Chains A and B, each alone.
Chain A
Amino acid sequence: MYRIAVAGNPNSGKTSLFNNLTGEFQHVGNYPGVTVEFFEGFAYFRDLKFKLIDLPGTYSLTTYSQEEVVARDYIINEKPDAIINVIDAGNFERNLYFTIQLLELNLPVVIALNMTDIAEKKGSFINALRLSSILGVRVIPTVAKKGIGMEDLKEACFETIHKHIRPKPLSYPHELENALHKLESVVAVSSEFTGHYPPRWLALKLLEDDEHILKRLDDVESRNTVAGILHDVKKHILAHSGEDSQTAVVEARYGIASGIFRAVVKLKQISGKMFTDHIDAVVCSRYLGPLILLAIVYGLFAFVFKISDELKWIPLFNGDWVSPVGLFEHFFEYMGFLAKEHIGNKLLHSLISDAFIAGVGGVMCFVPLIFFMFLFIAVLEDTGYIARVAFILDRVMRVFGLQGKSILALIISGGLGGGGCAVPGIMAARTLREEKDRLVTMLVVPLMNCGAKFPVYAVLIAAFFSHSRGLMMFILWLLSWIFALVAGFTLRKWVIKGEQTPFVMELPIYHIPTLKGVLIHTWYRTWLYIKKAGTVILGVSVILWAMMYFPRIDSSNFETARSGALRELEQKLVNTKYTSLLPLTEKKLSEMQEEFSSFPAYLEYEKKISAVKIDEAREQLLNSFAGRLGSVFAPVSKLAGFDWRDNIALIGGFAAKEVVIGTLGTAYSLGSDDEGQRSLSARLAADKNWSPLRAFALMVFVMVYAPCFVAVLTIKRESGSWKWALFSTLYSTTAAFIIAVLIYQLGGLFF
């Protein structure tokens, strides 16, 4: 099996080409030591199997960005059998600049001259044969979107491998050649320095002040000789060209590129502007641009919620129609019903229904929402509009230490007033190429009001702010943005310091997205979400459940109370028409419930029993590990107005914010006397220990405190270290606590 890497500029059509070569059989490989993921897939040519590796799209091969380092290390260290270099023919010169850097490595390169259709529309016709003879490698014209040229491409790879085709050496301007020559001869002497790098390439990299290569030089015996010569030649270049050697190397490459451009491209004057220019003139314009942006963003939410939750468009067996979210809810309800019917064991039943179904099911119900959100975003991404969003908003975001592209991540996380999710938001930060911007974005994204925080707000607002729901939601929305922006500002100023990262971004031409491309994108991301629910959430749910379930208390006292009530009822039944039923058992009673329902003595009995049950459950909860933990924190959390039950709920919320309301519900229904008749809102409103102030403090705390467990894991994965995952948990929880205490204490002075 041959390994073939796919490399090229961003937006050159790499992904489309990769998908077309490999079909559906691709998976994501994570290479040791790096956090950037590679897609891997297999392609077949005659009876040969190729393993394809899709490298991150980059403009260059320097050490300044993570992605470039990943791409280059892979190419150099893993030594793929061939490299397919995808070139955007419509953007030929700049793409050639990257190609030249690949050719410098003297590797088996095959060029896929992609987007030839667009280039021709632009009026540029590229002579592939001539290009091939100039560079010494195979060049295959392709239209990846339509699958044109794929077979030829595979054949060219095969040929390149078997005939050991290598590129012709490139010649640089005279001055540079001299410098390279001198360096090469000293470099080549030391085999520990050269290793598996070509000496000429090392010489180039030395001139480019390449950090990795300079560091390598540190451990080499002949370093002083090399450094001496390097110093001399650099001085010479500076004197001669008026530029430092790095610039000279880049300019030389672009010189070669434009020479090749002139030799192989035939330009035809095309009258009028391109399609893309017309769209940009509207979409990026002063007044209309921002309005269109708002409309699209609003459209995103309207579409996502309508199609996944509001419109009932999926038929059920029984003739009913449900929404996709409804379908999931039905499914889990049914599972719950099955569990109740068929699982006799109390412990097992509690595990299945409270941990599996309530925990995992609750999260899985968001799958349709997530799917449609990603679908919409994938379409936006594939068209090229997202880059325009970044362009329009960069100025605003920069004030807060973020940048244009951060906005997408914030929106996905719920920046428009709910319904989002921080997990895909954090993943969306990947489009930020600068490490620091990416980190800050990942750290503030969880502050947005994601869909999971909504139930918490809904319940508390209904209980305490029912007269001003809209206003309250608006305040919470505003607060989330204020917190996120202030956090961004603060982090950038004191934690993730450093000069402002450059914002130099290509605005790719608009494309009509392909169904296949969009679906692959969407499904990949949705699948990640599902996988999380099935693994992490499941695990955490079980742990939390166990913490609330164990240790069991001694229930004999409650047993006695229950049977006492039963005996009392028996006595009242003597000499009534029910005499024949005596002696009573709880089971018998529950079967006869309907008949008894109007019998006063029975109602009284029921009341007593439920009081006992509530006492027991309350006792149980307070005594459980979770309850004890909640009580431990109570003296501190009191400052913010939270009692032990709130604490349990909030601890549970670490797993997923949805858990907060569920846990509060359990804790309060367990502790009240109305047998679950009243809603949690009503119950809280009636509780004299609660006040609007406490509710508000709690809502703000839930908004700000630690991202849910899955989000934390995602931060770990995306940032590549536990450090940031931990930091994000700690900073937000600390901030949340301080803010909540301030609200509760200061508010207490006025209300």
Chain B
Amino acid sequence: MKTNDICEKTLADMEEGDKARIVKVGGVGAIKRRLLDMGIGRGEVLKVERYAPLKDPIQINIKGYSLALRVSEGRLIRVEEIS
């Protein structure tokens, strides 16, 4: 589905304070499962709280709690921005 640009955005493209809805969680094996277990699933809404001082990892808020993950993991999470 290359038609819709928004779908190509990942969590790693989001800025501080942005809100987004998860479209798809990529990756395989342990990494994917870990993300899913932490509540990162399709349809979920998250908010980017901040980036660490060196711009990596990212701190997000999801399901009412705070989660840190690396930018490389953020790239596995396709999102659409919501306002």
Kindly state whether residue B6 has any CB partner on chain A within 8 Å.
no
A506-B65, A507-B68 known; A254 vs B41 contact (CB < 8 Å): yes
Q: Which single member of B25, B66, B67 contacts A276 (CB below 8 Å)?
A: B66
Q: Are A391 and B73 in contact (CB-based, < 8 A)?
A: no
Q: Enumerate B34-83 residues with CB–CB distance to A below 8 Å.
A: 34-39, 41-42, 49-50, 52-57, 59, 63-70, 72-73
Nearest A residue to B71 via CB reads A395
> Residues of B contacting A658 with CB < 8 Å?
none
Q: Which single member of A247, A280, A394 contacts B36 (CB below 8 Å)?
A: A247
Kindly state whether residue A99 has any CB partner on chain B within 8 Å.
no
Identify 17 new A-B residue pairs, CB closer than 8 A, beyond the known A502-B34, A503-B69, A506-B67.
Answer: A60-B37, A62-B37, A64-B33, A91-B63, A92-B64, A93-B63, A276-B66, A280-B49, A280-B66, A284-B53, A285-B53, A391-B59, A396-B54, A502-B35, A502-B73, A507-B59, A507-B66
Interface size class on chain A is: 35 or more
B80 CB to closest chain A CB (Å) equals: 16
Q: Which single member of B29, B33, B50, B65 contacts A284 (CB below 8 Å)?
A: B50
Q: Are B38 and A290 in contact (CB-based, < 8 A)?
A: no
Q: Enumerate A459-512 residues with CB–CB distance to B below 8 Å.
A: 500-509
Q: Are B50 and A503 in contact (CB-based, < 8 A)?
A: no
A276 to B61 alpha-carbon distance, docked (Å): 12
Q: Enumerate A242-274 residues with CB–CB distance to B below 8 Å.
A: 243, 246-247, 250-251, 254
Kindly state whether residue A97 has any CB partner on chain B within 8 Å.
yes
Nearest B residue to A251 via CB reads B41
Q: Are B33 and A280 in contact (CB-based, < 8 A)?
A: no
A276-B66, A280-B66 known; A94 vs B39 contact (CB < 8 Å): yes
> Residues of B contacting A246 with CB < 8 Å?
32-33, 36
Kindly state whether residue A122 has any CB partner on chain B within 8 Å.
yes
A284 CB to closest chain B CB (Å) equals: 6
Nearest A residue to B43 via CB reads A251
> Residues of A contacting B73 with CB < 8 Å?
502-504
A94-B65, A394-B70, A504-B69 known; A289 vs B39 contact (CB < 8 Å): no
B67 CB to closest chain A CB (Å) equals: 6
Kindly state whether residue A416 has any CB partner on chain B within 8 Å.
no
Kindly state whether residue A392 has any CB partner on chain B within 8 Å.
yes
Q: Are A394 and B37 in contact (CB-based, < 8 A)?
A: no
Q: Are B53 and A504 in contact (CB-based, < 8 A)?
A: no
> Residues of B contacting A505 with CB < 8 Å?
67-69
Q: Are B52 and A392 in contact (CB-based, < 8 A)?
A: yes
Kindly state whether residue A287 has any CB partner on chain B within 8 Å.
yes
Kindly state whether residue A587 has any CB partner on chain B within 8 Å.
no
Q: Are A286 and B53 in contact (CB-based, < 8 A)?
A: yes
B10 CB to closest chain A CB (Å) equals: 15
Residue pairs across A and B with Cβ atoms less than 8 A apart, 12 shown, are: A64-B30, A64-B34, A93-B64, A94-B39, A97-B39, A243-B42, A280-B49, A289-B53, A390-B68, A503-B70, A504-B68, A509-B66
